[in-house]
Structure 1
């Protein structure tokens, strides 16, 4: 216990690599956002978030390919953003039925 409290994840990882010990640090969100390999690959892509009035880092491509370029073109949907399309277009509910369900607190 005490030994690990005196070392950083990076120090433990480097020492393990020198000694050929299989070890990998468990990354928290900050570690992942700041990871040098992900930064070098431009993994994180900034997209506008309408409710926050700022950008959010979204995960990008899981692999790089010159033959199949991939770029995020829209953010994740807001909660309920596509309800009309689902309830009316996909499920076939009328606008009146959707209004009734909303007023009843069902949706």
Structure 2
């Protein structure tokens, strides 16, 4: 499921142009696996299970989180909101250990 480098702009977020998902690249040297899992779980609960999540990648190089709205397509702004919220939760959860 690894995404092409060119699919991402200057940040770690790529939104599907058809509104079907958002992909976030995560540097595992910054965030440990348990922190990534906790942030994903916190987001799922905060969003009242409106999103499915797929976590994949190489824990030595890069982890990919893909959030898929259960209701089908959503607006780009909504997917960006989810991506930014997930990034914020990564920081919050990393402080919890």
* TM-score (normalizing by structure 2): 0.27
